[in-house]
Amino acid sequence: MLIAQTSNLIPMKFSADKKFLQNIQVVDIAEEGKGIGRFDDMVIFIDNAVPGDVLDVEIMRRKKKFYEARIQLIVKPSEYRNEPFCQHFGACGGCKWQHMDYAAQLIFKQKSVSDALQRLAKVDVSGMEPILPSTATRYYRNKLEYTFSNKRWLTDEDMLNRDESATEMNALGYHISGRFDKILDIVHCHLQADPSNDIRNSLKDFALTNGISFYDLRAHQGALRNLIIRNSTTGEMMVIVVFAFADEAQIKMVMEFLKESFPQITSLLYIQNQKKNDTIFDQQVLIYSGPDHIFESMPAGKPENPTLKFKIGAKSFYQTNSAQAHELYKIARDFADFEGGELVYDLYTGAGTIANFIAADVKEVIGIEYVPTAIEDAYINSEINNISNTKFFAGDMKDVLNAGFIQLHGKPDVVITDPPRAGMHTNVIERLLEMEALKIVYVSCNAATQARDIALLKEKYAVTRIKPVDMFPHTQHVENVVLLTLIANSSAKTI
């Protein structure tokens, strides 16, 4: 990528063949991580562009209302532009914002939340609190999943240098966006702390040396399929190898290699998945060595329970940024401002992490979650922490949370809801409006669907606090916490 420094910018214009645009000012950044520019009335989405850049670009795709483009020349780099720290930047679909200064990332994440709430929910965001940065911006994830493939994605560098290394088509890494059958081979990933990279690279080399085949995602054959690595703040580590069509000798060979080479692995598990999809939730998890779980810990800040422990199994859900999850839960607890006698409904409770985190602050917590195995984990997490004022129920939220359920368990004083990216079903929102809890603390990983839901809840609720939380540095993703207060029973006004 060429950079030309100039202070005398010529006006934006098309090249004679209408394929290139010159001097495009990048004014914003889209959710998928592409920079946004404009030419006449057309929006231009530009790969790897940073707000503040002035660029010459090549038009790659033309749509009715927008263009998609790539950078040909950086005429003037943005003050926010950074040199990417990862060798896989541009090809890998993760960490798409690492070419932008972290302080700038926070600005644009806050802006994305603000824009969504204003545009979709007509919320006054003038009192919005500053985004909470992540203390760690690299090696912050506690879980990564890699895919074995015999169809390695060839990078631009590979295509330019068709040497012997480019003929090695086996890969262990991440899916290329939009290509289910192509895997980018990863040399070093900056998302998970050591020995994660060493485990991945050593296992790949061992498999190649011993002629153990990598999975073919099209032909549905091959021995090695996935590698999952989980770690925790307690120092424990879980490694799960997912085999497809491997024989017993190959399985033993791989698992023994990992056991002997990496004594740091405290839970070594494997799965044989011969389905045509990668999901493991319907698969049997087999133990090779150690227990079938690791533990995560989280400060609770309560004299009777200063530190919480959470049991993490192969299929367990846990926020992937452990340290920042603690900060997120503290904000949710602060927004709720419990007095001690509340009945709380924790919707989309997962493994009961929030429910158990706030249990000491309230009278009772009732958690609801779609995944039965997550509810089993939630009960275990209450038990190991000697928490007796939680109850958990499995089922589809829109079906479980009905009038009979509320009559049986009581009308909640506070609702905490942390739905998936798609947000809440309209039936759930209708039920929330019927219940009229005094407060709703809405935690979301998608500000757009959160805003859509808030627009419906505004019938009875005022937005009184907003605080984004950065869980995933160098990506476009951002969590957001909103406090909604019942208007009829509160003197609170919208912020």
pLDDT digits (tens, 9 = 90+) for 459-469: 999 999 999 99
- Give backbone dihedrals phi and psi of 44, rounded to 5 degrees, phi first: -120, 120
pLDDT, averaged in runs of 10, over the chain (495 residues):
49 67 93 87 93 96 92 96 94 91 96 96 96 97 97 80 68 89 95 98 98 96 98 97 98 98 98 95 96 94 81 93 96 98 97 96 97 93 96 95 95 97 96 96 97 97 98 96 86 51
Measured CA distances, 437 to 336, 410, 434, 452, 478 (Å): 12, 11, 9, 20, 26
Cα–chain center distance at 45: 23
Check residue 154 and give its pLDDT.
Answer: 85
Contact 441, 454 (CB under 8 A): no
Helices 196-209 and 248-261 meet at what angle, rounded to 10? 140
DSSP letters, 42-80, are EEEEETT--TT-EEEEEEEEE-SSEEEEEEEEEEE--TT
Q: What is the DSSP letter of 291?
A: -
Contact 323, 233 (CB under 8 A): yes
Task: Tell me, yes or no, if 86 is annotated catalytic.
Answer: no
R_g of the chain computed on alpha carbons: 25
Residues paired with 343 in a beta bridge:
364
SS3 279: coil
Q: Which amino acid is at 419?
A: P
Q: Which amino acid is at 155?
A: T
User: What is the pTM assigned to this prediction?
Assistant: 0.91
Using alpha carbons only, give the angle 165, 170, 172 rounded to the nearest 5 degrees. Answer: 110
Check residue 7 and give its pLDDT.
Answer: 42
Q: What is the DSSP letter of 86?
A: -
- Tell me the pairing of strands 286-289 and 267-272: antiparallel
Distance from C-alpha of 29 to C-alpha of 37, rounded to nearest angstrom: 9
Distance from C-alpha of 196 to C-alpha of 299, rounded to nearest angstrom: 25
Q: What is the DSSP letter of 129?
A: P
> Encoding tokens for residue 29?
């950044």
Contact 109, 471 (CB under 8 A): no
> Encoding tokens for residue 285?
């998890």
The residue among 58, 16, 116 whose CA lies nearest residue 448 is 116
H helix intervals, 364-425: 372-384, 397-400, 403-409
Q: Tokens 């009192």 identify what position?
A: 127
Query: Hey, what domains does the chain have and what are their CATH numbers?
Result: 2-76 (2.40.50.140), 113-136+296-486 (3.40.50.150), 143-289 (2.40.50.1070)
pLDDT digits (tens, 9 = 90+) for 243-276: 999 999 999 999 999 999 999 999 999 999 999 9
The residue among 349, 358, 405, 362 whose CA lies nearest residue 385 is 358
Residues paired with 320 in a beta bridge:
none
Would you tell me how many other CB atoms lie within 10 Å of the CB of residue 414?
A: 21
Distance from C-alpha of 24 to C-alpha of 44, rounded to nearest angstrom: 9
Q: Is 162 exposed, middle or buried (0-12, 13-18, 19+ CB in 10 A)?
A: exposed
SS3 106: helix
SS3 369: strand
Catalytic residue, candidates 92, 95, 189, 445: 445
Q: Tokens 């943005």 identify what position?
A: 78
